[in-house]
Chains A and B, each alone.
Chain A
Amino acid sequence: MINWIIFAFLAPILGGLIYGIERVVKARMQGRMGPPVMQPFYDFAKLMDKRPLMIHSLHALMGIMYFVAEWFSLFVLFLGHDVLIAVFFHVLAVLALVIGASSVRSPYSVLGALRELMHMISYEPFMVLMVVGFYLVSGSFSINDILQSEPLIYKLPLVFMAFLFIIPMMLQKSPFDVAEAHQEIIGGPEIEYSGPFYEAVYTGKWIEYIYVFFFMFLFGGRNYILGVILVIFAFFFVNLLDNATARLDFRKMVKFSWIFLIPLAALNIILLALWR
């Protein structure tokens, strides 16, 4: 219990580290040096030092609420023991982000918010299915039980494969970075934030890293080493995908998820249910 609390408290730092490592990895894949691993924390210090500017209070507040909701949903994931509920708590963070982004009269921000909703349509039903798959293997929705069951990946290979493609949707990476599409809507939901308020959104994203990769870790079951290997593999795979592909239309994202990924996961679960 106490480990979980400490882990959840340290999540932003850990997430920042992962983010830093990711930037290095990505740079190496592109044949660049890349920034130092600690770069996100330097950014943090710099942003906190900036003169705070905002569009209006509602917008700034929602940036902070995004961070709070994201962190809270992580606590629910670690301490609540019910993974299904944790999936639904994540929607709170999406709500704060969407409300904040659409509260300003900026086309980029509003468009980003609407695309964020498309992201949600794509990954939310899958996450529910995935957790139900966890239940089917381990017999419980509780994290502790899942972490003591046999490795889930043996029984849920198709769900695992589909989740590899869901991660880019959740973390907004190519080919599914439609919400924050840097080239056309310049950051999407977070474009209007600056200074400390942007810092809140930025740190919220780090926490989301932990949130997403923890689900990947759960695939390892009681074999923690396998879990770590899976996380590292997923990390490299997602970054490779990010570097190698261009952004897709959001319609394609929704279609890909609904026509390919969700049926794949459902098929796995049906087969598993019949097998037992």
Chain B
Amino acid sequence: MGLLVFLNIVTPWVLAALIYYAKNDRVTNITAFSALPILLVFSYLIYINHTTSLIQTPEIVDYLITIYDFGLLGYFLYQGIVKKSTLVTSLAIIQILFLIIVLLMKIHSDIPNIYVDNLTILFYFIVALVGVPIAIFATKYMEFDERGKHKFVAIVIWFLGVMNFAVSVNNIEWFFALFETTTLASFVLIGFRKDEEATNNAVLALWMNQIGGVAILIALMVFIHINGFYHFTELLNHPLEVSLAGLGFLSLSALVKGAQMPFHKWLLGAMVAPTPVSAILHSATMVKIAPFLILRISPVIKGTLLAKLLIITTGYVFVVAAIIALTQSNFKRILAYSTISLLGLMMLSAAVGTPVAVVASIVLIIFHAFAKGFLFVEAGVLEKVFHVKYIEQMRRLIEKAPLTLMFIFFGFLNMTFVPFGTFIGKWMMIEEASKFLSHGSYIILILYVGAGSAFLSVLYMKVLGVSVRKAHGISNIKFFPLPKRFNFVSIWYYVWLLALTLFIAPFIADFVVPIANGITGESANIVSNHLSLYVGNSPLYFWEILGALIILSLIHALPYFVKFKVDTVHPYNCGEVFPKYMGTFNFECVKRYENILIAFSIALFILVVVLGGGLL
């Protein structure tokens, strides 16, 4: 077991080193492909002999990580000085000081530093199934007028290993090291193109994420000072004694990593990087640390004031990010805002912390990872093959890029409609919140979920509406031949999403529910029967799932194949001559309030720190 976990973490690093030093197209491509089966097999082997396990590591690793920590922070300091960013420099200095304090306070403890439970295994699977295909995609993507292909792919694969490590640590000090390593990874990846904009955004991402690092260090200090421990398992074993202030700071770092408002700017800044970066940041890694962290501590914070404040904050972000997404015209930014929004929902349901809510959170994490990876990959295809970046350019995409539009269509359907996973997450959340209503609280939760999902549906329908606009009479759609690796990745995601949706009931009941039970310690009342899903007393029958799936497949795929043999006419026009250009609502009116909305989110954020952390 220990060996397998070790291999799962180290193999990506070895592969990355191989790619980095070989600098050979063939080696890069084959290695990237081979990472898929390798990581998948390791994850599967860990899954089948899964017992929640604590793994002892040699003493030396602890020292190595401490040395690595200082090296990393020194690098941040160096970058701060080189890039002339006072924020980065001062935050790095603060981090170094705090780290020294933490190390001085730290007491020796024999608790193993690696903790692998079902949640960790889930993330191994996500990294293998969602993350690696993006690396494969990157091998082709970087061949389109981009430089540094080998280096880029190497960083991406190395990042996957870091993510695997980050989700398996037990020691919070180690977690800090890996948290900052993901910060480093995002810094390097965002600044990859090395032009001015990229550098600025990389620095932005760096200092914002450093704030998260500082918050973890403060949390560590509080934990060690008040409770005397610094391991996740210890937190979970002593739920009543744990200091709320420490938990508050820990969840603060989650909010920063999860790009919740007002810290959403760094994730948007990541849009200047090559598209696989966005794909990997948004789907499999990085931002998913945020819901992961909240899920880790959710049994401890359940029902506290902190949990309620987290619910209010993240729910607010869920709605507001969806509203602001309506005003965007850059396709990648639209996707980014919808990620921020859905991350809010994931953290909200993780913070609620009841078994069903945790199941909802996990379902959202899984399906969001697949769908977002898918959508960003398609955004990359649009950008490189069809040179489309903005909504206005997406007009008549159905004639220009039919296959890609079909994939985007499917990805969008996955983000909001019945019977796909993201919908099921929302549905479970509303059902769960209705149960709380009987004690007269959490109505805001229902409003959040209802409103947010309405806005997201509008967003997706609006974008799709522009893309399917089609000239009269042109009926022969030409399928433009796309590179094989692009098609492989797209079809990979497509088939997974389709299969998971079709068998969603057994998937949730047999795979997700045990994970949630492991986290909460209670059993969620969710069962599947003949492919139908029963959440408590509410059924989602298989005929409903199948029927909706068929209708949606007909809507998104059939237009390419159905040709009615009837006469065609021109659109009715009242006899007027109009320019053949129709725009779409850009929701300018929201922009006026954008600053107010963000200011309010800052207020909520401070509330989490002050009240949730128990500072008052």
Contacts and interface: CB of A to CB of B under 8 A. Distances in A.
**A and B assemble together:** yes
A276 interface: yes
B115 to A, nearest CB: 37
Nearest to B395: A105
A95 interface: yes
Interface string A50-88: 011111111111100100110010011001111011001
A92 B566 contact: no
A35 interface: no
A191 B574 CA distance: 12
B472 A104 contact: yes
Q: Give the one of B398, B470, B574, B578 with max A CB within 10 A.
A: B470
A149 interface: no
Interface stretch (A124-132, A167-175, A230-238): A124-132
Contacts of A79: 541
A113 B471 CA distance: 17
A17 interface: no
Which of the listed residues B416, B427, B461 has the most CB atoms from chain A within 10 Å of its own CB?
B461
Among A99, A140, A266, chain B packs the most CB atoms within 10 A around the CB of A99
A62 B447 contact: no
Interface string B507-539: 000000000000000000000000000000111
A85 B418 contact: yes
B551 interface: yes
Contact of B572 (A52, A102, A192, A269): A192
A81 B571 CA distance: 42
Interface string A87-98: 011011011101
Interface string A229-253: 0000000000000000000000100
Given A54-B564, A103-B469, A191-B572, A80 B537 contact: no
Given A57-B475, A91-B417, A125 B454 contact: yes
Interface stretch (A114-122, A151-159, A199-207, A209-217): A114-122
B554 A65 contact: yes
A135 B472 CA distance: 48
Contacts of B472: 55-56, 104-105
Interface stretch (B120-128, B196-204, B431-439, B493-501): B431-439
Contacts of A266: 443, 447
B582 A105 contact: yes
A102 B568 contact: no
B367 to A, nearest CB: 15
B450 A128 contact: yes
A136 B439 CA distance: 10
Contacts of B447: 125, 129, 262, 266
A89 B418 contact: yes
A88 B580 CA distance: 35
B348 to A, nearest CB: 16
B544 A76 contact: yes
Contact of B470 (A96, A105, A114): A105
B541 A128 contact: no
A57 B563 contact: yes
Contact residues on A (Cβ < 8 Å of other chain), bracket: 35 or more
A212 to B, nearest CB: 17
A148 interface: no
B103 to A, nearest CB: 50
A62 B462 CA distance: 16
B537 A142 contact: yes
Given A52-B567, A128-B446, A84 B469 contact: no
A273 B431 contact: no
B468 interface: yes
A274 B441 CA distance: 9
Contacts of B63: none
B58 interface: no
A57 B538 contact: no
Given A129-B450, A191-B572, A57 B551 contact: no
B540 A270 contact: no
Nearest to B437: A273
A117 B567 contact: no
Nearest to A187: B572
A68 B558 CA distance: 14
B49 interface: no
Contacts of A140: 537
Given A65-B551, A103-B470, A51 B434 contact: no
A59 to B, nearest CB: 8
A106 interface: yes
Contacts of B437: 132, 135-136, 269, 273
A92 B417 contact: yes
B469 A135 contact: no
Contacts of B443: 266, 269-270, 273
B454 A92 contact: no
Contacts of A120: 454, 457-458
B555 A95 contact: yes
A135 B440 CA distance: 13
Contacts of A117: 458, 461-462, 585
Given A58-B470, A89-B548, A117-B462, A106 B554 contact: no
Contacts of B559: 57-58, 61-62
B615 interface: no
Nearest to B589: A251
Nearest to A96: B555
B67 interface: no
A65 B555 contact: yes
A182 to B, nearest CB: 13
Which of the listed residues B423, B453, B465, B573 has the most CB atoms from chain A within 10 Å of its own CB? B465
Interface string B447-481: 10111011101100110111011111111000000
A197 B433 CA distance: 42
Contacts of A114: 462, 465, 584-585
A36 interface: no
Interface of A: 51-62, 65, 68-69, 72, 75-76, 79-82, 84-85, 88-89, 91-92, 94-96, 98-99, 101-110, 113-114, 117, 120-121, 124-125, 128-129, 132, 135-136, 140-142, 186, 191-192, 194, 251, 262, 266, 269-270, 273-274, 276
26 contacts: A52-B567, A54-B566, A55-B472, A55-B570, A56-B473, A56-B568, A72-B548, A80-B539, A84-B427, A84-B430, A91-B418, A92-B417, A95-B417, A96-B551, A98-B464, A99-B468, A102-B469, A110-B469, A110-B582, A121-B454, A124-B457, A125-B450, A128-B430, A266-B443, A266-B447, A273-B438
Given A52-B566, A89-B544, A109-B571, 20 more contacts: A53-B567, A55-B570, A76-B544, A84-B538, A92-B551, A98-B465, A101-B465, A102-B466, A103-B469, A103-B470, A105-B470, A107-B573, A113-B465, A120-B454, A120-B457, A121-B458, A125-B454, A140-B537, A142-B538, A186-B574
